[in-house]
Amino acid sequence: MTEAHGLILDPELAPSPVRPALVWAEGLNLAGAAGSMGPHLEASTTAARELGDAYIPLEVRRRVRDMLRHGHYKPTGRGKPASEFLLQAALSGSFPHVRCPVDVNN
């Protein structure tokens, strides 16, 4: 059986700096052990450690925070973007690999 999937956008949100996307993943190993990174995730965290904070350019961080502020959200402290938390975790060597579906979204 085939299901139709889509993303419905409320026109009240326009204009918006956000480009919504739908992530669809199939064939994930849901039984995989937590803490075991695949080759892509391992390569990404290694590259982050090599480049440091420059792995996510300052301009990209600024644009992500500006996007979050569009809806009156305050992206600071515990509410800062996940990309910044994940970068710091990669730099410290304690990247929080969880499970495939979570890692795909991160």
The tens digit of pLDDT for each residue in 46-96 reads 999 999 999 999 999 998 898 888 777 888 888 889 889 889 999 998 887
SS3 assignment, position 31: coil
pLDDT exceeds cutoff 60 at 13: yes
Q: Which residues of 41-61 are buried (b: 16+ CB within 10 A; e: fewer)?
A: eeebbeebeeeeeebbeeeeb
| pLDDT for position 59 | 92
Q: Give me 76's structure tokens.
A: 């600071």
Domain extents for the chain?
56-106
Give this prediction's pTM. Answer: 0.62
> Is 8's pLDDT higher than 80?
no
